[in-house]
Amino acid sequence: MHLTPDKQIFKATAATVTEDGVTLILPGQTQATRKTYKRLAGSTVTAGSAVLCARDSGTIVVMGNIV
């Protein structure tokens, strides 16, 4: 997935959540990523929920559930 500069912050779906991180279903995709992304400490992320994400240093950081 290529994010343009105006897509630094975007919505995705959390596919799985483990101690290691979160797999995501990115915008325009139907399958979860193989890569596991880190989340902010203290954030709440639930599998199947919409999450707010930010692109940072060539990776994605999951900021938490959108409620």
Domain span at residue 20 reads 5-65
Q: Residue 55 is which amino acid?
A: R
- Give tens-digit pLDDT for 7-49: 699 999 999 999 999 999 999 999 999 999 999 999 999 999 9
pLDDT band of 2, cuts 50, 70, 90: low
pLDDT band of 62, cuts 50, 70, 90: very high
Q: How many domains are contained in the chain?
A: 1
At 5 the pLDDT is: 52
CATH of the domain at 15: 2.40.50
Question: Could you tell me the CA-to-CA distances from 55 to 20, 34 in Å, in that order?
Answer: 18, 17
Given a cut of 60, whether residue 53 has pLDDT beyond it is: yes
At 3 the pLDDT is: 52
